[in-house]
Amino acid sequence: MRRRSDQVKRHIVDPAVMPLGYRTDRADLVDESGLIGTHIVNSLITADLVVADLTHSNPNVFYELALRHAFAKPFIQIIDKSERLPFDVAGQRTIFFDYKDLDSAADARERINRAARQIRDGGDDYKAESPVSQTVDLQQLRSSGNPEQVTMAAVSESLSEIRTELRLYRHGQPRPYSREQTEAIRHVLIGMAADGRLRAHELEILDSAIGSNKNYDAFLQELRKRMPSSSSNVWGTFGSSSTADDEPPF
């Protein structure tokens, strides 16, 4: 396990983030006792970025990731493509890779680099999204007393649940919805898009739910076309696409 971690750090993480000015450390190299002491906790709280490798479901890694969530600090999740993403963190964008496959390792380096660059360039304005930050935001909306914000909280929570289950399905876990449920969700979202209740940032949440998928991409394009121009212009221009009549868009 240590050899794998060394190789992932040396050949994937370091080349991805060090050109951006980051200096890398690994928790088990800082303290080989296996205990999470005050020095590691302080480093986790103050680090500009944490890349969390969720492979093998190491409890220490999840504890360390939870600290980043609690303090709303930027993080990037990665995991070996042979493993299932744990449900509790499935709602977060995660990079799947095979460190023994050169093409997969190169793709992971590029994706980590893009994510790290976005975090670095965002500076103090970058907001790290996590279950903790999402819960805090939803609580503020619900307690605002504004009916529109209360409705927005309910919609955002539903979209977050859909995103989580779609990601689980994408990476080998059972299909989250039956065909009938999928069609019902499809019609609800299309209706929301048509009357302006589906906002651009909510569409972005759906867009990041899973990787490239012909039917799902076509469905997102349909939502964009139905959204009022004032809500959808941030997405630019998209070409048309079609799906098989007997296959739900996602």
Distances (CA, A) of 190 to 10, 143, 200: 46, 28, 14
Q: Running DSSP on this structure, what letter comes out for residue 13?
A: I
* Residues near 211 by beta carbon (within 8 Å), at least 6 away in sequence: 170
pLDDT value for 238? 30
pLDDT value for 65? 93
pLDDT value for 191? 81
pLDDT value for 53? 96
Q: What is the pTM of this model?
A: 0.59
Q: Where are the domains of the chain?
A: 2-125, 131-235
Q: Which CATH architecture has domain 2-125?
A: 3-Layer(aba) Sandwich (3.40)
pLDDT per residue, tens digit, the chain (250 aa), is 789 999 999 999 999 999 999 999 987 776 555 556 788 888 899 999 999 999 999 998 999 999 999 898 999 999 999 998 887 787 788 999 999 999 999 999 999 999 999 999 988 888 788 877 777 766 776 788 787 766 766 666 666 666 656 555 555 555 555 667 677 777 778 888 888 777 776 776 666 554 445 666 777 788 888 887 644 333 332 333 333 344 444 4
If you search the block for the tokens 């986790």, which residue do you land on?
44
pLDDT value for 51? 96
DSSP 19-60: GGT-----HHHH-TTS---HHHHHHHHH-S-EEEE-GGG-HH
pLDDT value for 12? 97
Q: Running DSSP on this structure, what letter comes out for residue 175?
A: P
pLDDT value for 144? 80
